[in-house]
Structure 1
Amino acid sequence: MTAATLAAPSGVWRREVIAELKRTSRLPQFLLPTVLTPAAFFGLFSMAVARSPSPAYVAAMLAGYGVFAATGPALFGFGAGVAMEREQGLIELKRVSPMPAGAYVVAKLAATIMTTAIALILIDALALVAGVRLSAAIWARLTILHLAAAIPFALIGFGVGMRMSGKGAVAIANALFLGGSVLGGLWIPSSVLPGWMRTLGEVTPSYHLSQLARAIMGAETIGSPVAHAAAVAAITLAGAVWAWSGWRRSPA
């Protein structure tokens, strides 16, 4: 790292973000599954299984699958990815370097949002093929929500990655990924799930984010958008505390 770079903090952040984006793009074993799986599930459950689905039905399903597109990159990129880098000593190396700790997290988040954006492009393209037509304002609000959905999952994943071994973090990420998707109503609307599953789902960010997305689409929702937004804010704050305490307590 040059003296000029050290003298310009913004340069450190920018270089770290660019390096992480390049690294992620060179990992097809991570990029392809996290990008293709949401589109494949969306096409299967929203268009293939349902016979002659209406555009309104596909649009309502799009709300949940956009959140689903953000969960994989966030939980695996932060959870499993951070745990493996910690085991390799990379995080310890970054800690003793002059690089701000926040630059590492921001770079990871930038890579997560990039991966989520690619997955969303595929899902939105399938929705257009199915006849979904939304106004530019609704598309914009929905996209912003779906991209922002990565934040609470990333914080939760980061806390896991700073506490667990690589193998353990993969297992936890899988459990949160699949469990949150089912209980949160991302694959099947929460309104058709049994009551006990909806109750469990209410503690997941997936549930509240999908309800907010459905509200943006004008689809039927459970509860008020204000309550769901407050729940997401509370979960995000708790995730931030979980992530920060994991960073502070981890020796490497």
Structure 2
Amino acid sequence: MTAAALPTGIWRREAVAELKRSWRLPQFLLPTVLTPAAFYALFTLAISRTPSPAVAAASLAGYGVFAAIGPALFGFGAGVAMEREQGLIELKRVSPLPADAFVAAKLVAALAATAAAIAIIYLAAILAGVRLSAGQWLLLIALHLASTLPFGLIGLGLGMRMSGKGAVAVANALFLGSAVLGGLWVPSTMLPGWMQAVGQFAPSYHLGQLARAIVGADTIGSPAVHLVVALAMTLAASGWAWTGWRRSPA
């Protein structure tokens, strides 16, 4: 094996191992994959009974972002914190494994879980009468999958700073808080003013507004501004994750 081929092989093997590990844990897989779809079916389709395609599409936009938050926060945050306590992070650090390969493998596993979750939500939306153009579907898929990145970086920063139990507690709070304050379950315009104000500091709010713009739903503010803010928040999250990785002793 050449020196150039070695890093690629390491990346691939680490990603495959992480996929196998995460998908063999039903306590991780079932809640993160099935919960967003169950919430979408219950609150959008079942309670509303016969929602209009426009309402179902607007709800689809938010729940797709919601589906990305769980795998990212729990896969990175809680998962990394527990691996630190078990000494696995320290072992990986002294091994030839590059740090970026470790992060990329976690991201691949989170993306796989997110893809499974949004596929179920999309199917339910189509059955509810949602009809989008091919371009809209492609943009929506790209945005929903990309929503994994900022929350994964936030989770990594948490996991490198907190204990396993602490990371689980904070991940749960961020998981639910991001959904509510970000207007992913209920449109932000229906929330109290103070919740709308706080929600603007959450990546979920800006990602949700971008998703609503893609499906043609009403949005608050300019999609271009939401895109810039979401990118800035992702950059800030990468700094949070990097400093956590560098400072953590194990």
Query: Could you tell me the TM-score, scaled by structure 2's length?
Result: 0.98
Which residue number corresponds to residue 203 of structure 1?
201
> Shift of the alpha carbon at 1:49?
1.4
Deviations 1:169-224 (A, max 9, x none): 00000010001100000000111111111000000000000000000111100000
Q: 1:18 to 1:186 in 2, by over 3 A?
A: same
Percent identical:
68
Paired amino acid for 1:49: I
Residue 166 of structure 1: CA displacement?
A: 0.1
SS of 1:80's partner is helix
What is residue 77 of structure 2 aligned with on the other side? 79
1:162 and 2:128 correspond: no
Amino acid at match of 1:55: P
CA contact 1:152–1:239 (8 Å) conserved in 2: yes
Determine the structure 2 residue equivalent to 1:140. 138
Q: Which of 6, 9, 27 is residue 7 of structure 2 equivalent to?
A: 9
2:57 aligned residue (45, 56, 59): 59
Looking at structure 2, the residues matched to 178 and 36 of structure 1 have their Cα atoms a distance apart, in angstroms, of: 15
- Whether the 8 Å contact between 1:6 and 1:98 is mirrored in structure 2 is no
- Tell me how far apart the structure 2 counterparts of residues 206 and 39 of structure 1 sit (CA, whole Å): 17
Query: Is contact 1:5-1:11 (8 Å) kept?
Result: no
Rounded to whole Å, the distance in 2 between the matches of 1:147 and 1:122 is 14
Q: Does 1:112 align with 2:110?
A: yes
Residue aligning to 2:182: 184
Which stretch of the first structure deviates more once superposed, 137-146 or 6-15? 6-15
Q: Post-superposition, which runs of at least 4 consecutive aligned residues in structure 1 deviate over 4 A?
A: 3-7
CA deviation after TM superposition for structure 1 residue 5, in Å:
8.3
Consecutive unaligned residues of structure 1, counting only runs of 5 or more, are none
Shift of 1:244: 0.2
SS at match of 2:221: coil
Give the alignment partner of residue 125 of structure 1, picking from 98, 110, 123: 123
Distance of 1:121 and 1:15 partners within structure 2: 26
Residue 150 of structure 2: aligned partner: 152
Which AA in structure 2 matches 1:190?
S
TM-score, length of structure 1 as denominator length = 0.97
Question: 1:218 maps to which residue?
Answer: 216
Q: Is the contact between residue 5 and residue 12 of structure 1 (CA under 8 Å) also seen in structure 2?
A: no
Q: Is the 8 A contact 1:76 1:157 kept in 2?
A: yes
Superposed CA offset, 1:12-36 (max 9, x none): 1011011111111111110011000
2:166 alignment partner AA: G
Deviations 1:145-189 (A, max 9, x none): 000000000000000000000000000000100011000000001
Cα distance in 1 for residues equivalent to 2:3 and 2:32: 33
Partner of 2:48: 50
